[in-house]
Amino acid sequence: MSTDAFHLDGKRAVVTGGASGIGQAIALTFGARGASVHILDLDEAGAQATAQQILHGGGAAVAHGCDVTHEAEVERVFGEIQKQGRIDIVVNNAGVAHIGNVETTTGEDFDRIYRVNVKGVYHCMRAGIGRMKEGGGGVILNMASVAASVGIADRFAYSMSKGAVLAMTYSAAKDYAAHNIRVVSISPARIHTPFVDGFLRDNYPGREEEMFDKLSATQPVGRMGTPQEVADLALYLCSDQATFATGTDYPIDGGFLRLNT
């Protein structure tokens, strides 16, 4: 995708989970396209590193250490950001993964996934939407997953959480369309991030290359996606060129959903 036509000049964007992976790519892309980017992450040092990359490129960025599972903490950080001006964009990217089926997923596992992937998104949507109403509108972009729409082995709790993200996206889009607030989601298939490398290293020592090729082949195009490809789609959806887009999920999956048989 050519992103030359898409700009976020004058926009203030909040990106959760911006210290690495997809969130970092989104934050860097938004910063390069004129947005003032606020990066929220539990890894404050990683968030600072992302912010420094934006600043070194001539953009505007601020890092915030934030645990999205804590509502009061999210509200505090959003309040600090609002003091600098209206919030135009919230990207809910922070999330954690889990491997396991219903029998191997403990109650503690389930609760952890729910707290981060569901309540974390809820906390940031609630903090963002109220302020966007006051400011005359905005965009909420939630990171869902192909796991929300199809069965993937050993992803029980993760699939649950991303299904909830999808449902929250549709519901909020309906409720706030009249307030000039667009709510959309992106559903990636497998994206090559540091998490993937760590997962392979921890679970398949000595077989990393073999398993990487196997996971890549689950996409009909024969490879994983890149964080930048997701970031380019996020840029479009959060730009003024996408004002007709709301209440819709956008798969970016190398054909995973429609071409696998």
* 3-state secondary structure labels for all residues of 201-224: HHHCCCCHHHHHHHHHCCCCCCCC
Q: Which two tokens stand for residue 158?
A: 């993760």
Count of helix runs (H) and strand runs (E) in the chain = 10, 7
**CA distances (Å), 175 to each of 74, 170, 171, 246, 253, in order?**
22, 9, 6, 11, 28
**CA distances (Å), 189 to each of 173, 182, 230, in order?**
23, 23, 10
The DSSP H or E segment spanning 227 is: helix 227-238
- The active-site residue, picked from 158, 170, 176, 250, is 158
Euclidean distance between CA atoms 165 and 30, whole angstroms: 22
Residue of 147, 150, 227 lying closest to 195 (CA atoms): 227
158 is an active site residue? yes
- Report the amino acid identity of residue 252: I
Euclidean distance between CA atoms 180 and 211, whole angstroms: 45
Judge contact between 145 and 251, C-beta under 8 A. Answer: no
* Residue with tokens 């196997």, as numbered in its chain: 214
Residue count of the chain: 261
- Report the amino acid identity of residue 71: E
Q: Active-site residues: which are they? A: 158
